[in-house]
C-alpha cells in the first residue's frame, strides 16, 4: 500500500504510482475529490511546465508546476497559487506523466492539456484563485450564507434552519470553511444535513484531527506551566486557550497556537525551560517570544498584550493589574478585562487585514460568557473601550454578530459581508496593504516599510531603544534579511506584486 512515507521505494520498485490528489493547489487541473495522478521516477533535468513531485525538508510531499528552470533548482508554482517556490533538483522524486480527470486518462503530452498549461501560466500574478467562493463579480455565492447558517446552528447548538439553497456545493463549502477555520466547528451539522456527501470523510478527518490537536496541546501546555511554576514564573492564559472552552464541544475551534502571558523579567528562565523541552526559539523580540516544536506545537509567550506603538496600547500597559489569582503562579483575566482585550485584539486584526468568520463566532461566544453575564460591570467595560478609542468598532461588530448568530438572523450589508468572507481567518495581506495605501499613499507606505520609524524599530531590535543614532544600522540589518532570508524575501515579493496592482490613493503621493 502506498503511503506518504514509502512513495520513493514504491516508485523505485514499480516504476510508477497512481496516487489520489490532496489539497486545492493544482485546481482546476486536479480536483482532490475525484482526480488522480500518475507519477514516474525521474533522474534527469525536467523542463518548464513539467509537474514534479517533490519532498520538502519538513517531509511534506508537494505536486506543483515548473515555471522556470535554473542551474540547480526549479522555480515552481501550483496552478491555483501565485506564490513561487525555489525547489532544488535533489528534492524531486518523480514527475507527473499523466492524470485521471473524471475517470479518463490524460497524458501530459496531450495537445489540449498543453493548451491549458500555456493559458494557465501566461499570467501567474493575475490568476483568479479558486477557493470555493466568488465565481462571479457581484454575485453572493450560496455557500457564504449557508456557512453562516451552519455556524449559527453549531455554536448555539440548535437545528439548522431549512429550507436551504439546493445549489450549495459541499466541496466549495468545505474549502470556504477551512479558509475561515470553522470547518471543525460546523462538522456535526454538516454531517446531519449532508450525510451522503463524498466530502464528509475528509471533513470528519479534519474534525478528528483538530480534536486530537486540542488534546495534545492541553497536555503539552500543562507540562510547560508545571515547569514554569517550579521556576517561579507567573503566567496567564490568553485568547484561544480560554475561548476554546466556550465552544459547545472540545475540538470545535480550530487554532494555530497557544498564547500565554508571562512575567517578562523571567525571559531567560522561560527560554531555558522551552529549550530543554526541545523547542526551537523562533523569536525573542517584540510583543511575544515564539517557540515551535514538531509536529505542530506553537507557543507564543507574551511579554505584553500590545506593542507600545499600537493605537490601543495605552489602555493595556499593565496586564497584571486586575488579574485574578488562580494558583501560586497562575492568573486569569477578569471577565471584563477578557472581553475588552478581545475587542481590542479583534480591532487590531480587522483594521489591519480583515478578520473572518472564526473571529465573529469567538465574539458571539465571548459575549454570551462575559458581556451578557449577570453582574458584569458594563460601565467599566464601556469606559475602557472608550479610552481605547474603539467604541464605534465594538458597536459595529456586536451588531454583525447579532445579525449572524442571534435568535432572529438578519442581513448584513453587502460590503461588510464581502470584506468578512474574503478575509479568511487571519485577514489578508491585500486588505492590510490596501488600507495603508488608501490612508497614506503608495510612496509613504513604501518608505515606511523600507525605513520603519523609531517606535517600530524598538520592537524589532530592542537594542535601538534610547539610541536613535543606531537606526540606520538597524535599517541595514533589516534590509539584509530581505537578501538572505527566504521567507522575508518571498513576503516582500508578494507585497510588491500587490502594490503594483493597487491604484494610488486620491490624496495621492
Partner 1 sequence: MKLKSGVIITEANGEYIAIAAGDAGKNFNGMIKMNGTAAFIAKLLQTDISEDAIVDALCNEYEVERETARENTIVIIDKLSSIGLIEK
Q: Which is nearer to partner 1, 81 or 213 (CB)?
A: 213
Per CB under 8 A, does 220 bind partner 1?
yes
Per CB under 8 A, does 222 bind partner 1?
no
- Applying CB under 8 A, among 195, 295, 375, 508 the residue interacting with partner 1 is 295
Contacts (Cβ under 8 Å, ≥6 apart) of 250: 211, 214, 215, 244
SS3 of 459, please? helix
- Applying CB under 8 A, among 114, 215, 231, 282 the residue interacting with partner 1 is 215
Per CB under 8 A, does 216 bind partner 1?
yes
- The interface with partner 1 within residues 361-400 (CB under 8 A) comprises none
Interaction mask 24-63, partner 1, x per CB under 8 A: ----------------------------------------
Q: Sign of the C-alpha dihedral, residues 297, 302, 308, 314?
A: positive
CB distance 66 to 119 below 8 Å: no
CB under 8 A: which stretch of 211-219, 314-322, 398-406, 457-465 binds partner 1? 211-219
Interaction mask 166-205, partner 1, x per CB under 8 A: ----------------------------------------
- The interface with partner 1 within residues 126-155 (CB under 8 A) comprises none
Per CB under 8 A, does 509 bind partner 1?
no
Contacts (Cβ under 8 Å, ≥6 apart) of 341: 238, 305, 316, 333
- Applying CB under 8 A, among 1, 162, 219, 476 the residue interacting with partner 1 is 219
Cβ neighbours around 18 below 10 Å, total: 15
Contacts (Cβ under 8 Å, ≥6 apart) of 255: 181, 213, 214, 217, 240, 244
Nearest to 248 by CA among 355, 338, 153, 173: 153
> What gap in Å lies between CA 279 and CA 224, rounded to an integer?
11
Per CB under 8 A, does 1 bind partner 1?
no
Per CB under 8 A, does 4 bind partner 1?
no
Q: Which residues of 73-100 are buried (b: 16+ CB within 10 A; e: fewer)?
A: bbebbbbbbeebbebebebbbbbbbbbb
> What gap in Å lies between CA 55 and CA 275, rounded to an integer?
28
Nearest to 327 by CA among 235, 220, 231: 235
> What gap in Å lies between CA 60 and CA 73, rounded to an integer?
18
Q: Provide, rounded to whole angstroms, the least separation between the CB of residue 205 and partner 1.
A: 9
Interaction mask 226-265, partner 1, x per CB under 8 A: -----------------------xxx--------------
Q: Which is nearer to partner 1, 96 or 252 (CB)?
A: 252
Count of residues binding partner 1 (CB under 8 A)? 13
Q: Which is nearer to partner 1, 59 or 232 (CB)?
A: 59
Contacts (Cβ under 8 Å, ≥6 apart) of 371: 339, 378, 381
- Applying CB under 8 A, among 211, 287, 313, 332 the residue interacting with partner 1 is 211
- The interface with partner 1 within residues 406-465 (CB under 8 A) comprises none
> What gap in Å lies between CA 366 and CA 377, rounded to an integer?
15
- Applying CB under 8 A, among 70, 212, 481, 493 the residue interacting with partner 1 is 212
Q: Provide, rounded to whole angstroms, the least separation between the CB of residue 219 and partner 1.
A: 6
Contacts (Cβ under 8 Å, ≥6 apart) of 419: 354, 431
DSSP secondary-structure letter at 15?
S
Q: Which is nearer to partner 1, 216 or 479 (CB)?
A: 216
Give the binding site for partner 1 (CB under 8 A).
Answer: 208-209, 211-212, 214-216, 219-220, 249-251, 295
Amino acid at each position: 500500500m502506498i503511503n506518504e512515507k514509502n512513495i520513493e521505494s514504491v516508485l523505485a520498485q514499480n516504476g510508477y504510482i497512481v496516487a489520489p490528489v490532496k489539497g486545492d493547489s493544482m485546481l482546476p487541473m486536479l480536483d482532490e475529490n475525484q482526480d488522480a495522478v500518475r507519477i514516474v521516477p525521474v533522474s534527469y533535468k525536467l523542463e518548464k511546465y513539467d509537474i514534479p513531485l517533490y519532498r520538502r525538508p519538513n517531509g511534506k510531499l508537494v505536486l506543483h508546476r515548473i515555471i522556470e528552470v535554473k542551474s540547480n533548482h526549479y522555480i515552481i508554482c501550483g496552478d491555483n497559487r501565485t506564490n513561487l517556490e525555489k525547489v532544488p533538483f535533489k528534492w524531486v522524486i518523480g514527475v507527473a506523466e499523466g492524470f485521471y480527470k473524471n475517470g479518463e486518462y490524460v497524458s501530459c503530452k496531450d495537445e489540449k492539456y498543453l493548451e491549458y498549461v500555456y493559458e494557465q501560466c501566461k499570467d501567474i500574478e493575475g490568476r483568479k484563485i479558486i477557493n470555493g467562493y466568488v465565481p462571479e463579480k457581484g454575485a453572493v455565492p450560496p455557500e457564504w450564507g449557508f456557512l453562516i447558517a451552519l455556524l449559527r446552528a453549531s455554536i448555539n447548538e440548535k437545528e439548522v434552519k431549512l429550507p436551504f439553497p439546493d445549489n450549495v456545493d459541499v466541496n466549495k463549502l468545505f474549502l470556504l470553511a477551512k479558509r475561515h477555520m470553522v470547518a471543525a466547528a460546523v462538522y456535526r451539522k454538516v454531517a446531519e444535513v449532508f450525510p451522503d456527501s463524498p466530502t464528509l470523510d475528509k471533513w470528519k478527518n479534519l474534525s478528528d484531527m483538530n480534536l486530537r490537536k486540542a488534546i495534545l496541546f492541553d497536555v503539552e501546555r500543562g507540562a510547560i506551566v508545571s515547569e514554569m511554576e517550579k521556576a517561579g514564573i507567573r503566567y496567564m492564559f490568553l485568547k484561544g486557550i480560554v475561548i476554546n472552552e466556550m465552544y459547545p464541544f472540545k475540538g470545535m475551534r480550530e487554532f494555530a497556537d497557544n498564547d500565554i502571558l508571562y512575567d517578562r523579567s523571567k525571559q531567560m528562565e522561560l527560554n531555558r525551560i522551552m529549550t530543554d523541552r526541545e523547542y526551537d526559539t523562533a523569536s525573542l523580540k517584540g510583543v511575544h517570544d515564539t517557540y515551535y516544536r514538531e509536529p505542530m506545537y506553537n507557543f507564543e509567550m507574551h511579554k505584553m498584550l500590545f506593542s507600545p506603538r499600537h493605537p490601543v496600547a495605552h489602555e493595556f500597559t499593565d496586564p497584571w493589574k486586575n488579574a485574578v489569582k488562580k494558583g501560586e503562579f497562575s492568573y486569569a483575566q477578569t471577565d471584563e478585562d477578557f472581553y475588552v482585550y478581545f475587542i481590542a485584539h479583534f480591532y487590531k486584526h480587522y483594521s489591519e487585514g480583515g478578520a473572518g468568520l472564526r473571529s465573529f463566532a469567538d465574539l458571539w461566544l465571548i459575549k454570551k460568557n462575559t458581556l451578557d453575564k449577570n453582574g458584569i460591570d458594563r460601565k467599566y467595560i464601556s469606559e475602557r473601550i472608550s479610552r481605547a478609542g474603539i467604541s464605534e468598532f465594538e458597536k459595529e461588530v456586536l451588531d454583525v454578530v447579532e445579525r449572524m448568530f442571534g435568535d432572529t438572523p438578519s442581513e448584513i450589508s453587502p460590503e461588510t459581508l464581502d470584506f468578512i468572507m474574503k478575509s479568511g481567518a487571519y485577514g489578508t495581506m491585500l486588505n492590510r496593504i490596501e488600507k495603508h495605501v488608501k490612508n497614506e499613499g503608495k510612496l509613504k507606505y513604501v518608505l515606511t516599510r523600507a525605513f520603519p520609524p523609531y517606535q517600530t524599530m524598538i520592537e524589532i531590535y530592542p537594542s535601538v531603544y534610547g539610541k536613535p543614532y543606531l537606526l540606520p544600522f538597524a535599517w541595514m540589518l533589516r534590509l539584509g534579511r530581505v537578501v538572505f532570508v527566504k521567507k522575508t524575501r518571498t513576503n516582500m515579493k508578494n507585497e510588491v506584486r500587490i502594490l503594483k496592482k493597487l491604484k494610488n490613493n486620491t490624496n495621492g503621493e
